[in-house]
Structure 1
Amino acid sequence: MKLMINHQTHYQYSDWTKNSIQYIKMTPQSNGHQYIHSWDVSVPGLKQIKRDAFNNVWLTSTQIEPYQQMLIMAQGVVEINFENQFGITDQLSPVLFLQPTATTLCNTEMLDFAQQYVPTIQLSNFQKLAEALLNYMPYTTASTSVTQTAMESFSMQQGVCQDHSHVFIAMAKALNVPARYVSGYLYVNNQSHLASHAWAEIFLEGQWHIIDVSNQLFRPESHVYVAIGRDYWDVAPVRGVRGQGGIETMHSIVQVLAC
């Protein structure tokens, strides 16, 4: 299945912004799950492309001239291998994804919840846990912020895909199962769904398995991989620093269409 993706991020500032740097992770790569027919990230300024510790493509853009608006646009065509059942393989040790992060810590209440559905370590039990989490934390648009931790999101009993992924990862790691955070895109017929997406994966029996809590999907049939890490902060699409600029406002437009 071929997908045409257009991801626009618009920034506006109440004052002139000077000397800013943007760190952008919005570039998918070809692998056993997907083939990138074309892809381009458009952003003003001087650009440099590197790889991060997780082998994600990391574009750095430096702006010297003052500005009050900025558009970052990523677009291209990606073909998904519909027969693939697992998360993508890489050269990283799964043990890396047992490392704790501030965002994916697990408290006693969360561990008790997880152990109800995962009395033994097997994939079907983790899928039951994902179902229970969505019932406990219904998907609620704009209910949280990117700064929230797994423990905070779990206590609120609601969230979006980022929160679902963080909570699930925290629980899996507390059960001593490697778990990672994946950012990317999701193709769905319902265009009201935000196509920019995040999900979790766990490492069992020598394979990475997708656990998309928000959509209750356990095969990557509709998913495009962009970046992999331990939590959101490892894969954030755009992070940066700036001088001045006043108040920042941002909105995104994402389209994922079959072609």
Structure 2
Amino acid sequence: MSRERIIKQQARESLRGNITALIAGFLALAVMGVIIFDVPVFAAYLLNLVDAESGEVTGDSFLWYLLLEFGALVLAAVFSPLINGFFRLAADTAVKGGCEINSFFYFFSSPRRYFRTLAVNMGLCALYSLLTAPLAIAGRLLGGVLPEPAITAVLVIWQIFVYIFFIHYPLAAYAINDSRPAYYYVFGFIGFSFRCSGALIKLIFSMLGWIALCFFIIPTLYVVPYLAVTLMNSARWLFAMNNKI
């Protein structure tokens, strides 16, 4: 039996009795995302900050639109520890074999833990932006030269690889053990992520059939928790083998 099959089998066994909490956490994240990112867009149209036909910001409304977008980003940062909370649910499921919904709010449990989580998230966000922004800018400059679908595909693939190489393992490690300083999670897993990226990519490819089901709403409620626990299960064994947590 292949390593990927064993990891997925362990994840399915861990999900028994825990799927409800993971679904609830995922739904809470989805609702939060809609409120933070979609409501400001709706408000911009409602307040006539954006032209309904062209979709462009009207000249004298640019500052208000900018403030609206900035407010959405601030809210996303303030509530970002809920993302870590979902990772925590997956970590408890994979490592302990059981999770409770209160783990979703674990990183709000004390001011010190909350602000350290913000530091980790903002550090990883800055690293992600630093690595993806240059290609995004180049894509805009080449917009009239290369086909738009090709540019979009390259950008999406690069963003996925940046997540694999720099973001996934730090978030997983922080969910399992958050006792280290913030800089350890931001910078301490870069080499590890490169060394173990092949295992992560291979596992993701083995689950492409499941991921494809996310085009439909109902299967997503099971697939996302299953994917989260499977990836966390793989990460925790790799961390143990490399003494990273």
Shorter chain as denominator, the TM-score bin is under 0.3
Q: TM-score, normalised by structure 2?
A: 0.23
Name the one with the larger helix percent. Answer: 2
Q: TM-score, normalised by structure 1?
A: 0.22
Name the one with the larger strand percent. Answer: 1
